[in-house]
Amino acid sequence: MMTTSFYKENFVAVCEKSNRIALIAHTNPDGDAIGSSLGLLRFLRNQYPDKMIRSFVPNYPPNSLKFIDQKRDVEIYINQIGETNAFIAAADMLIFLDFNQIHRLDSLSDAINMNMHATKVLIDHHIDPPEKFDITHHNTESSSTALLVYTLIEQVAGVEAITKEIAEPLYLGMMTDTGCFSFSHLSGQLFHAIATLIDAGVDPVAINRAVYSTQRESRVRLHSYLISENMKIIANKGAAIITLTQEEKDRFDFQTGDSEGVVNIPLGIQGIVFSAILIENKDGSIKLSLRSQDVIDVNELSNIHFNGGGHKNAAGGKLNTTMDEAVKVVEEVIQSFK
């Protein structure tokens, strides 16, 4: 449902009175986080050229997304921690994109929590946002945060304000967060927006190729290895588990984003309705990505068992255990399926 506390007059009024505006997206930014951030950043800079407006993500996006931001307008927090903290502390307006749990930003969350005077704006489509934002543009039925940014621009300035430079990252966000328009929450509104972005100059074929047809050989070999060697099928429960250890990451020259999409592959197997990939971090913790079809609510499972959340059919989590222990936890959850 749409959160009703978004009014374009409120958003515009805060923008107009703010001298410093910071846009912030989530850790391990994906196409929707980068696309919605960059699209909104460019729009706001066009609308308010005299204001200081910057966009930040905690760490690097995947290499496959770097083409969309050649000027590196979306800044990397870990490269400039002190400078970013200072800007966020002095910001009059903080806009959070594609996530709603500030505590999941690691050390960046401390700088945000220390700013007690800024107006806090949420633009997001994940469920269960906390009640601590001043303005919210939130809809769990939206297929992407990029689509919400599109509707915000449409309400505030009209679609004529969407230039090619704004349209391209918004299209990237909509395309990647729907699995090239194959996931749920597809709507007439989405495809109407896509048509508008194409009219603004987007080349869908070029963006698709830039994301999906420029992979390194080691990434392709990693995906093949994970499916052939590390995928376990629990057929009577319609489930699949894939594991990726730190040693295996080193063997395949793993880079940020290299495991993107692997968790979706088992769902293409007849009878599989739940898929999980468990990835070992350098600190020994285990990152989980969960996907499902039909009635299995992986957001609920992640909240209960894996210290995370997300959407009904796509969620993530984390376990501070060994890989073997994490696999046992996931298997126990799978055995509880009816």
Q: How much is the CA Rg of the chain, to the nearest whole Å?
A: 20
Higher pLDDT, 161 or 185: 161
The pLDDT, as a whole number, for residue 3 is 47
pLDDT tens per residue across span 183-233: 768 899 999 999 999 999 999 999 999 998 888 999 999 999 999 999 999
What is the arithmetic mean of pLDDT over 263-269?
95
Residue 309: pLDDT band (50, 70, 90) is confident
CATH number at residue 138: 3.90.1640.10
Is residue 159 domain-shared with residue 227, that is, in the same domain? Answer: no
Q: Are 36 and 93 in the same domain? A: yes
Cβ contacts of 3-12, under 8 Å, gap ≥ 24: 3/129, 3/136, 3/137, 3/138, 3/139, 5/133, 5/135, 5/136, 6/135, 6/136, 6/137, 6/138, 6/152, 7/135, 8/152, 8/155, 8/156, 10/135, 11/121, 11/135, 11/137, 11/152, 11/156, 12/156
pLDDT score at 311: 84
Confidence (pLDDT) at 5: 58
Q: Is the pLDDT of residue 57 over 90?
A: yes
For residue 53, what pLDDT is reported? 98
Q: Helix (H, G, I), strand (E, B), or coil: what is residue 30?
A: coil
DSSP string over 74-101: EEEGGGSHHHHHHHHHH-SEEEEES---
How many CB atoms within 10 Å of residue 130? Answer: 10
Confidence band of 106 (pLDDT split at 50, 70, 90):
confident
Q: Model-level pTM?
A: 0.85
Total of domains in the chain: 2
Given 175, 192, 211, the domain boundary residue is: 211
List pLDDT tens digits, range 107-136: 888 889 889 899 999 999 988 787 789 999
**Which residue range is the domain that position 262 belongs to?**
217-335
Asked whether residue 315 carries a pLDDT value surpassing 80, the answer given is: yes
Return left, alpha or beta for 162; rule: phi > 0 is left, psi -120 to 50 is alpha, else beta: beta
Dump pLDDT digits (tens) for 146-159: 999 999 999 999 99
Instruction: Give per-residue pLDDT as tens, 60-101.
Output: 998 899 999 999 999 999 999 999 999 999 999 999 999 998
Asked whether residue 234 is assigned to any structural domain, the reply reads yes
Average pLDDT, the chain: 93
Establish if 1 belongs to a structural domain.
no
